[in-house]
Every structure is written in structure tokens, then in C-alpha cells.
Amino acid sequence: MKKKGLNFLEQIIDGDIKKGYEKKHLRFRFPPEPNGYLHIGHLKAICVNFNLGEKYSAPVNLRFDDTNPEKEAKEYVEAIKKDIEWLGFKWDKECYASDYFQQLYDWAHVLIEKDLAYVDSQSSKEIASQKGTPTEPGKNSPNRTRPTEESRLLFEEMHSGKMKPGEHVLRAKIDMSSPNMLMRDPVIYRSMSSHHHRTGDTWKIYPLYDWTHGESDYIEQVSHSLCTLEFEPHRELYDWFLDALEPLKGRRPKQREFSRLNLSYTITSKRLLAELVSSGAVQGWDDPRLPTISGLRKRGYTPKALRQFANTVGVSKRENVIDVSLLEFCIRADLNESAPRARAVLSPLKVTIKNFPENKTEELEFEINPQKKELGKRKVFFERELYIERDDFQEEDDENFYRLTKGQEVRLKNAYIIKAEEVIKNKDNEVEEVVCSYDPKSKSGSGTEESSRKVKATIHWLGRAEAVTAKVNVYDRLFKVSEPGKEKSITEDLNENSLETLDAFVEPYLKDAEPGSSYQFQRLGYFIKEKDTNQLVFNKTIGLRDSWKKENG
Ligand code: ATP
Ligand code: MG
């Protein structure tokens, strides 16, 4: 097999090892904020970090960046852990930025003592108005020269909860004319009276993300802190913070950035996903139409397919949009190998075989998975009354329609050739039943001349007596456009017909099938048996495309 080249992060790490970095000090982390469920974009960051952990036999921390109690919740912490476990990754330490609140607070005092931080008592609006622009320097706050002792006392009062939110903030004293806007005296603490899901009401001030993130990496002694490209300008700030705290005993994390995963027809922003969930546009974070890990799981995606997808996308510094069909390709390839075949009719139309005896059932053989011959065959039952797919019949023949029409023959999969003779309609003139005849000599695999007679198509079917009712959810893309939210709001871009629930018939053995197991329904695609219900429900994972032709040609 051709050896895959190293990705650019592996090259950096290998380079560090060559220069003497000890392998035993390697440590990575995945740092989600528990303010929503993980999505397909996070999958990339998870795989980048955990794959490196596997490659270098190095630990990977799971760190919750929980600095914003207003938006965060334990529900999200649990959902994130469940998703990473389900993907098959094992983290080393389970860490929380909130565990470092005391250390961060003590360090903030160090900054104040060194005159590298000050309490600003202006409103956030005033502070914003002095920020300047990338081409114009900002203005110093009138509080910038506040004596150290005064800042220290005010900060302690913020800490004890004496100050109202918005009255004062603590800012790092860096450089209001830096070309890097992030270096213009960033706010590092604010007062907030929110209940935190872990620390409760202990804290009346909360550290900002930038102050927390780099320090957390340092505290955990993460060797390579890998994040998405938009964090590149934050590097300078994280370095400044650590310089300001010198002397420090530990090793400095090395931050490197890779491009975000963008997928066509898909949103990968927790904020927008949260909007869809809270507005009721979808049925929760795990709605199978959402690109959340939990939604994809409910849809029938497998950890193997998702990891394969992430590995195929790879890691680089180039921003691009990946076609969603690559994701679909990965799940199709996985299920084609693993999913047993089953029979279902999603929009049933009754067929009566007029020359087949009443009260007779004939046993026929059905291959469980042509990709896995060892699974063998099972019995299916042919009888006088059957169901076929409504779409597979058309009353009038036309040159573009190859399936069953009046006077035209088709083969019923693994069974006989039938011919439509007569159509029975209801009072609304809709076809209710098709009366057919069958050729008794044409049984598949029987070796007769008729059994190999060519007809225009092979269609699937189900015997009426064996058919069991089931609900089947069939999905279309959630958005009508490839870049949702680009020109209109995401709500306007929603596809109103993204979910259709059908009253279908399936084979009886599917009633007892393991919830959460996947099947290939003949000719229709891949379906997963829904777990979260007492009814018999299947969710469509993905269509088949060409595999039907190959298998059955
Ligand atoms: P969102 O924009 O959806 O809110 P986020 O970056 O704020 O995402 P975090 O919980 O902070 O969400 O993300 C945890 C990690 O996942 C970060 O390191 C972040 O860079 C990474 N990540 C988030 N979205 C993507 C993406 N689309 N592609 C690659 N990595 C991502
Ligand atoms: Mg974030």
C-alpha cells in the first residue's frame, strides 16, 4: 500500500521531536464550549487531535471551555462526552476551565501587581468606541493610569460581588496602537451574576475566553494547541499573557492553526444550530436532518464512516468548502458492506396475481448480503396478493418509463415475471390496485429458459400477508441553497419539505430487529431502526445510487 505523506501538523511535531522535544511530553486537547451539541465541524477538530494522540501514543485531554455560564449547561457537557465516546475516542483527563478559576484569578492579581492590568470603569460602549480600527490606533482609557492599589481593591470588590455587571472590567495593559486589535487592552474579567453549572454561585466575576484559553493549555501542559485559522492572531496575545506571568516553570504550548471544515448545504455554527432548535424548525439537537453528531447518529451514520470522512478531508491551512456528497459517499460505502438487505415498500400499491392460486404461499430464497455471502439466504413468501412501490407502476406506457405498465412485463426481484393486465381505480380516479398475470416458468434461479428471459426492469415487492406496517422518515436537504444564510436568513433558506413520514410496509422480521441497526432496503437505500420510540420507525440514512445495478444486473 502506498504510504500516506505526513500532514503539516505531523511535520511540525516530527520536527519538534527531531529538535529534541521529548515524546513523553506530547499532549493534545479538544476544547469545546458546552453551549450546544457537537457538529460535523467539531468532528474534524476531534479527529485532528485524537488521531495525533493515537499516532504519537500521546494523551488527549477533553477540556470544557466553560467560561460563559449564561449560555452553558450540563446537558451539553453530557451530550459532548457521549458523542466523543460514540466516535470511539478515549480522552485522558476530563478538564474544565472552571477548575482553573482560582488560578486565573490569582494570576490576574499578578498582572495587576506588575502594572500589566487595570480596572476600567467605563461602559462597554465607551470601551468599544476607543478601540480604533485596523488602520487607526485606539485611544487610551482614562483609567489606564489608575494606581495599582486602586485597581487591586476594585478588582477584589468585583470578585466579592459588590459591583454590578457592566460597572467595571479588568483589562490587560498592552498597547492601544498595536496593529493586532486583540492586543488593544483586551478585557479579561467581567462581573456577572449567573449560576454556573459547575461552580454554582461561587464566582461573581468570570474570565474571558482569551484569558482562559491559552492559560488552560499551559496549566494542562498541552504540547501542541491546535485550533482553527481564525485563532492565528490570538497567538500573540496568548504569548503576551505567559510572558507577563514569567517566571513560569512549565513548558509553553505551541499553537498551530488549521482550516475549518465547511460543508455545502450545511451550517456548522452552534449559534445558528441553536436558533433552528429553539425556533422549532427542527425536532431538537439530534434531529436527523441536522449536521450534529447526534443527528447524524440518529440518521444512521456510523463512527467508522464519519472518521473515514474526516480522514479523507484531511488537515490543511487552506479554507475551502467540501461537497456534502463526500460525506454521503463515506456512509454509503460503509453500509454497503455492513448492512443486511431487507425488503420494504414505502408507498404501497396493491397487486393481485390473478393466475396464482388463492391461499397458496410459495417460499423463495433471498440473499442477506451479496457482499457477505457467508450470511447466507433466508426465506421470503410469494403469494397472490402483493405490494409494489406506487412509483413502479404507470398506467400508460411511455418511452422514458421502464417499469410496470399495462401490457408490459417486469421481474419481481428473486421471484417471477409479471405482466399488468388491468387497473382498478377508486372514485377519485386514482389507481388502487393492479391486476397482473405471472409466468409460472420464470422463477429466478430455476434454470428454465424463461427464468433468464430479459425484461425491462426488476422491481421489489412484499407479500401482503407478511407485510408489517412501519413509519418511515425520508429526508431531503434541510436547506434549499448550497450556502445557507449567505444571501437570505437561514430560516428563509430552509427547505419546507425536508421531512416526509410515510406509512410503509416492511418484512416481519424487522419488527424484532435491534433498535439502532441499519438495513439496506432493496432498491430504496439505507435505513436505521429508530431507538427512541416504542413504534416501528425507520429513518432513511441515504439513497443507493448505483449499487443496485451492480448487485442485481
Ligand atoms: P461554533 O462556531 O459552532 O460555535 P466554536 O468554535 O465556537 O464553534 P467550540 O466549542 O469552541 O465551538 O469548538 C471546539 C473546537 O472545535 C475548537 O477548537 C474549534 O476550533 C473547533 N471547531 C469548531 N468548528 C469547527 C469547524 N467547522 N471545523 C473545524 N474545527 C472546528
Ligand atoms: Mg469557540
Tell me the C-alpha distance between 14 and 530, whole Å: 45
429: domain CATH number is: 2.40.240.10
Of ligand 1's listed atoms, the one at least distance from the Cα of 231 is 20
Residue 11 lies in a domain: no
Distance from the CA of 34 to the center of ligand 2, in angstroms? Answer: 10
Please list the pLDDT of the chain residue by residue as tens digits (553 residues).
Answer: 556 789 999 999 999 999 999 999 999 999 999 999 999 999 999 999 999 999 999 999 999 999 999 999 999 999 999 999 999 999 999 999 999 999 999 999 999 999 999 999 999 999 999 999 999 999 999 999 999 999 999 999 999 999 999 999 999 999 999 999 999 999 999 999 999 999 999 999 999 999 999 999 999 999 999 999 999 999 999 999 999 999 999 999 999 999 999 999 999 999 999 999 999 999 999 999 999 999 999 999 999 999 999 999 999 999 889 999 999 999 999 999 999 999 999 999 999 999 999 999 999 988 887 778 888 888 999 999 999 999 999 998 888 899 999 988 999 999 999 999 999 999 999 999 999 999 999 999 899 999 989 998 999 999 999 999 999 999 999 999 988 988 999 999 999 999 999 999 999 999 999 999 999 999 999 999 999 999 999 999 999 974 334 444 3
Ligand nearest, relative to CA of residue 271 = 1
Query: 48: CA distance to ligand 1 center in Å?
Result: 12
Residue 375 grid cell = 450470511
Q: What is the pLDDT of residue 550?
A: 43
Residue 439 sits in the same domain as residue 491: no
DSSP for 363-399 reads: EEEEES-TT-GGG-EEEEEEESEEEEEGGGEESS--T
12, part of any domain: no
* pLDDT value of residue 530: 97
> How far does the centroid of ligand 1 lie from the alpha carbon of residue 220, in Å?
20
Range of the domain at 448: 348-460
Cα dihedral 254/259/263/266 (nearest 10) = 60
In angstroms, how far is CA 535 from the centroid of its own chain?
Answer: 26
> Full-prediction pTM beyond 0.75?
yes
Beta bridge partners of 529: 538
409 and 497 in one domain? no
- Same domain, residue pair 84 and 171: yes
CB-based pocket (< 6 A), ligand 1: 31-33, 41-42, 44-45, 227-228, 260-261, 268-271
Q: Which residue's alpha carbon is at the smallest distance from atom 6 of ligand 1?
A: 32
Q: How far is residue 335's CA from residue 300's CA, in Å, rounded to a whole number?
A: 9
Query: DSSP letter string over 66-122?
Result: ---TTT--HHHHHHHHHHHHHHT---S-EEEGGGGHHHHHHHHHHHHHTTSEEEE-S
What whole-number distance in Å separates Cα of residue 256 and Cα of residue 420? 66
Question: Which residue of 228, 269, 275, 315 sits with most ligand 1 atoms within 8 Å of its CB, as the best mutation to test the pocket?
Answer: 228
- 9 falls within a domain: no
For residue 34, which atom of ligand 1 is closest to its CA?
A: 10
Q: How many domains does the chain have?
A: 3
Q: Which of 235, 260, 285 is the last residue of a domain?
A: 260
Q: Is residue 7 part of a domain?
A: no
Give nearest CA residue, ligand 1 atom 25.
41
Asked if 311 and 388 sit in the same domain, the reply is: no
524 and 488 part of one domain: yes
Q: Is residue 308 part of a domain?
A: yes
Pick from 9, 42, 84, 266 the residue to mutate for probing ligand 1's pocket: most ligand atoms within 8 Å of its CB: 42
| Cα gap 94→82, rounded to integer Å | 13
- Give the ligand whose atoms come closest to the C-alpha of residue 260: 1
Give nearest CA residue, ligand 1 atom 29: 260
| Structural domain includes residue 1 | no
Domain boundary among 460, 487, 518: 460
Q: Does 2 fall in a domain? A: no
Domain match, 150 and 109 both: yes
The rounded Å distance from CA 31 to ligand 2 centre is 8
Residues 410 and 449 in one domain: yes
Look at residues 190, 171, 223, 207 and name the one whose alpha carbon lies nearest to residue 99: 207
CATH number reported for the structural domain that contains residue 530 in this entry: 1.10.1160.10
With a CB cutoff of 8 Å and minimum separation 6, the contacts of 524 are 344, 346, 460, 540, 543, 544
3-state secondary structure of 359: coil
Residue nearest to atom 4 of ligand 1 (CA): 270
How much distance in Å is there from the Cα of 62 to the middle of ligand 1? 14
Q: At what angle do helices 74-87 and 40-55 cross, to 10 degrees?
A: 60
The verdict on 315 and 410 lying in the same domain is no
| CATH number (domain holding residue 73) | 3.40.50.620
Question: Which residues are known catalytic residues?
Answer: 33, 260, 270
Q: Same domain for 357 and 413? A: yes
Q: Does 443 share its domain with 365?
A: yes
Instruction: Confirm if 66 and 96 have CB atoms less than 8 A apart.
Output: yes
Q: Is 468 helix (H, G, I), strand (E, B) or coil?
A: strand
Q: Are 173 and 219 part of one and the same domain?
A: yes
Q: Which of 430, 460, 490 is the last residue of a domain?
A: 460
CA of 359 to the centre of ligand 1 (A): 62
Q: Name which residue sits closest to atom 26 of ligand 1, judged by CA.
A: 41
- Residue 3, in any domain of the structure: no
Structure confidence at residue 368 (pLDDT): 80
On whether both 66 and 197 belong to a single domain, the answer is yes
DSSP 304: H
